Amino acid sequence: MNEKLKKLFFKGANFLGVNLPIMGGAMTWVSENNLVSATSNAGGFGVIAAGSMSPDMLEKEIIYTKQKTTKPFGVNLILLHPQIEDLIQTCIKQKVSLVVFAGGFPKRRQIEKLRDKNIKTMCFATTSSIAKKMISYGIEALILEGNEAGGHIGPVSINVLVQEILPEVVNVPVFVAGGIGRGEIFLKFLELGAAGCQIGTRLVCSEESIAHKNFKDIFIKSEARNCQVSVRLDNRFPVIPVRAIENNASKKFIDEQKKVIELLENNNISLKDAQLKIEHFWAGSLKKAVVDGDIENGSLMAGQSVSLVKKIQPVKDILNEFVNQAKQQLKEESKVL
């Protein structure tokens, strides 16, 4: 590997305990033991999407993954989950390498509980002040995820987040995510100070991904412009926007919001339960598409980098492509200099 690339890879790879500082994005129903172990075996860092799993289900998933890889991997936990404390305990019991907190910001005690057991912690940061607050709580790494990503997203582009937050955070590794589909752009973020990246959409169409053939086919056929952000009907209702390929499910989500808003207005449901109801809608809708192959009525969560997905490939080939594209870019730059 190019010496400069080795240096750029060092911080993130060292933190994760792997060869390549490329994390697999946690995609519900997709990021399970097959894809996670394949990502880690290929030199990257696989992450199980705990999603709405029960602690028992998560434990089984971790055990299955360990049977398929001896390499490090992590678990993504949704903080809204009603059994979040039990899920944290499961990660401790199974001695996972890293816990990625999503769907909110972890409490200091949650971070400390994991750190006390030598489990690394990571969370998403959407502003410089949140990044600093999380670091003061003891978080050991951050992910900046731009709204180019698939699934649940924030409101800001990765290009802006990188400019706003990277210069402010130097003491913990920062990984970038959202719209990253080639090695050249990955290289640019590394040169700007990122420790690594997280990719999801590119891995959906890997050979090891259990996603239904219909789901993979629609990814290969889609363009970036087909991936649109879900509409929020009521500002009082804290729906986290979701980016997905437009279909009937996009329209059904609007109907689901109407029902939940009505329940809220009639005091038949709490705000937290309303949010959970929406999360369950997405989990069920996504399962329809990913597992059952219903690409009309199931949610087709995908990032804008879907336009760079051209074929089904082994995970190892996808990660090697990133590395080779970054190497080639460095070679081209050295010619100019």
CA 23 vs. chain centroid, Å, equals 8
CA 178 vs. chain centroid, Å, equals 9
Looking at the structure, tell me whether residues 327 and 187 fall in a common domain. Answer: yes
Q: Please write the tens of the pLDDT for every residue from 62-119.
A: 999 999 999 999 999 999 899 999 999 999 999 999 999 999 999 999 999 999 999 9
Looking at the structure, tell me whether residues 74 and 57 fall in a common domain. Answer: yes
Looking at the structure, tell me whether residues 89 and 229 fall in a common domain. Answer: no
140 phi, psi to nearest 5 deg:
-100, -15
Q: Please write the tens of the pLDDT for every residue from 258-274.
A: 888 888 888 888 888 88
Looking at the structure, tell me whether residues 299 and 314 fall in a common domain. Answer: no
Query: Is residue 13 very low, low, confident or very high in pLDDT (cuts 50, 70, 90)?
Result: very high
pLDDT for res 328: 96
Looking at the structure, tell me whether residues 224 and 200 fall in a common domain. Answer: no
Nearest to 308 by CA among 196, 205, 193: 205
**CATH number, domain containing residue 102:** 3.20.20.70
pTM value is 0.94
Looking at the structure, tell me whether residues 182 and 85 fall in a common domain. Answer: yes
Looking at the structure, tell me whether residues 171 and 282 fall in a common domain. Answer: no
Looking at the structure, tell me whether residues 202 and 91 fall in a common domain. Answer: yes
Domain count for the chain: 2
Please determine, for residue 55, whether its predicted confidence score (pLDDT) is greater than 70.
Answer: yes
Percent of the chain as helix, strand, coil, to the nearest 5: 50, 15, 35
Nearest to 36 by CA among 7, 11, 72, 83: 72
Looking at the structure, tell me whether residues 292 and 191 fall in a common domain. Answer: no
Q: Are 243 and 299 in contact (CB under 8 A)?
A: no
Looking at the structure, tell me whether residues 189 and 269 fall in a common domain. Answer: no
Query: Is residue 237 very low, low, confident or very high in pLDDT (cuts 50, 70, 90)?
Result: low
Work out the end-to-end distance of the chain between its first and last CA atoms, rounded to an integer number of angstroms: 20
**CB atoms inside a 10 Å sphere around CB 83:** 15
Domain span at 284: 217-304
Q: Are 100 and 123 in contact (CB under 8 A)?
A: yes
Q: Are 95 and 116 in contact (CB under 8 A)?
A: no
Work out the average pLDDT over 309-324. Answer: 98
Pairing of strands 151-152, 242-245: antiparallel
